[in-house]
A and B are shown apart, each in its own frame.
Chain A
Amino acid sequence: MKKAIFFLISVFLFINIYAEKLDVKGQISDELKQIQKDSEDYRINKDSVKLMVRKNGLGKELITQKLIEKFKTGDTINTKTSGNWEMNLKDDFNSVVGDGWDLTVFGDGTRVNYRNWKYVLENKAKYGKAKAMSLTELKTAGEKFIKGELKDFVKLGVGEELVFMQSKYEVDIVGSDDGSFYDETLGANIAYFGRKKDSLMFVGNSSMIIVEFSNDRKPVSFYYKWKDYEELEDQINIASREEINYRISSFSSMNFGNVKNLDVKLICGIYDDSEYVQPACEVKQKGETDNGSFGGIINIIPAGKNHAEGGNWGELKMLNSYGEICRESDITGEIFPENEK
């Protein structure tokens, strides 16, 4: 009898000690909140922006070589490329796989993904219940990594700044089939960085860096999409706030009458449309399209009075084809409330 009671108490204690739900969720940085506020207030608080054009990268072959050389030792970071590795050369990317790590270099070498998965697998159990890194800690550690280890690959031009955007966390969850056991553990801390040029944010995922830290706070993965740009003499004049608002209402995909709890986030800045960089507003809309069914859509709205054409920018093509008197509802058959503008 005593044994049975002891057993039940042990099970109760075990479940209560280990059944931990982690209170971690990614957060937006203060810097990004300020950019969102400025975008809400002014859209773009400038009269004009210099048009920029993409510069070609050094090529995936050269960047692959340089990255392997740079990270061949893992003395200070856990992103190493030492040991035996094999390379798979494709038209669109190079894939390098080593002992516990992989590196993919895309296109002209300006998009790169690296991950050391072996270190994570071997070490994460040791730090299972580690505390998540705060926004400040992620910003500091991320900047240190980018400015130290990626400085030869991710270069800031004149008037450019790195912007810490947000945190994200990997949470490992286990449970028994009968539901009696449940546990959550921190797996990784993730920092997202963006880029500003003359105080204007690159929007639409044009330029970004993601640095991932395992739960012992060591960098184990990075991803970047980072091109160099050249300013042209041409100026793009910024459209009025009213004009931009009208375009937002015309070309935002979720302007239906039937989306519940529609949440709209706006960031205005500049956008790399695959050829030029010119003014734009990123509109993120999410909501419930039916009870229990959801969707999230991003539209990139042209914010210039004039534009450079030639890139691959759907909303700009719609604007040029249909003008500002049409709404997307007229073009695609989507419904848009007529009393809204």
Chain B
Amino acid sequence: MNKTLMFLMIFLISSFAYATYYIGAKSESSWQIDPATGDPWRNNWRASDVCSYWYSTMGNYSSIDRISYTTLRSPAKSRYETDGDQNTTYGLDGFDIFLHCGHSGIRDNGDARWDLWEVQTRVVSSNMRLGDEARELKLFSTYGCYQMNNDDGNRWYGRWRQIFRGGLKHATGFHEYAWLFGSDYDSNRQLGIDYATYLNTTNKTIKDAWWDAVKEHPDNTPAIGASGTMASNAQSRRDNMRMVDLPNYTVLRDDDIGGYAWLEWR
């Protein structure tokens, strides 16, 4: 009897735990001055408007636990890459859903990169493996440029393969430019608010939540991607996954993955 009661209690507790999403965000709007030039090593870009309002709006929903929202300053690099992403407060695998807001891009060697505050400090995709530790990150979003670029010869899956092999289920970002207003903070913030609102809209897929949130800038070029056992399975996961489904989709790691599906708004 006691064992049955204990089982039921554990079952109930674990059910509640699964109904709650741990979220995190990191962003930066201004960048460290490069002593060599006297200039910021990246031009100011008000990305924090997006992340901060996404993070606060997500907190309005009872299924969300806000774990941390921090800057892109040291030791941010380790929080993204495999040596520290398991940190349960600041590491990307410490969350179910994560939003990065700041400059990003690609490297000549094929890596996707996310620029950090300190001069010449970057996170690179070949050092990332997400979804295999702690909360096992499920959705990784970036409001920044080019990290999902595919123009240089079908290299999208090369850039993201290493990341997805940890078990990450869905990613949203941009294949070319992400735009922000220099001073219209309200419009920038509305992007973050809309993404949170749409993610929490019943039956709305992650794909539609991302596109509907960022489409108001006519020159925005968003993209999304997902892995699957084969290409058609990846396509289905990419198009149908909703925030509420994230824990239910099978975790695919390493050789479980046979294909990728991504989508660009050009």
Contacts and interface: CB of A to CB of B under 8 A. Distances in A.
Interface stretch (B1-9, B71-79, B82-90, B215-223): B215-223
A24 B265 CA distance: 10
Interface string B183-215: 111110000010001100111110010011001
Interface string A273-293: 010000000001010011111
A194 B107 CA distance: 36
B122 to A, nearest CB: 8
Nearest to A132: B266
Given A175-B154, A253-B43, A293-B105, A97 B179 contact: no
Given A115-B208, A205-B216, A289 B42 contact: yes
Contact of B184 (A173, A176, A204): A204
Interface residues of A, number: 73
Contacts of B186: 274, 312
A173 B119 CA distance: 35
Interface stretch (A137-145, A154-162, A254-262): A254-262
B140 interface: no
A293 B113 contact: yes
B152 to A, nearest CB: 10
Contact of A95 (B41, B201, B215): B201
Interface string A218-234: 00000101000000000
A182 interface: yes
Contacts of A190: 215, 265
Interface stretch (B16-24, B128-136, B243-251, B254-262): B254-262
A133 B258 CA distance: 33
B187 A295 contact: no
A334 B44 contact: yes
A274 B146 CA distance: 31
A259 B43 CA distance: 8
A318 interface: yes
Interface in B15-70: 37-45
Contacts of B203: 97, 102, 117
B108 A292 contact: yes
A90 to B, nearest CB: 8
Contacts of B10: none
A296 B161 CA distance: 27
Contacts of B182: 251-253, 297-299, 314-315
A174 B212 contact: no
A217 B98 CA distance: 35
Interface residues of B, number: 70
A315 B44 CA distance: 15
A261 B207 CA distance: 31
A174 B218 contact: no
Interface string A50-90: 00000000000000000000000000000000000010100
A166 B266 CA distance: 11
Interface centre among A93, A177, A257, A259 (most CB of B within 10 A): A177
A289 B43 contact: yes
A260 B45 CA distance: 16
Contact of A170 (B145, B154, B257, B263): B263
B95 interface: no
A174 B232 contact: yes
A104 interface: yes
Contacts of B176: 294
A181 B231 CA distance: 9
Interface in A165-220: 165-166, 168-177, 179, 181-183, 187, 190, 192, 204-205, 208, 210
Given A296-B180, A298-B179, A174 B45 contact: no
A258 B154 CA distance: 30
B156 interface: yes
A253 to B, nearest CB: 4
8 contacts: A95-B201, A102-B203, A115-B208, A170-B211, A175-B231, A208-B218, A297-B181, A315-B183
Question: Can you list the 9 inter-chain pairs with the closest CB atoms, starting with the nearest?
Answer: A314-B183, A293-B105, A253-B182, A294-B145, A174-B231, A296-B179, A296-B177, A299-B182, A292-B105
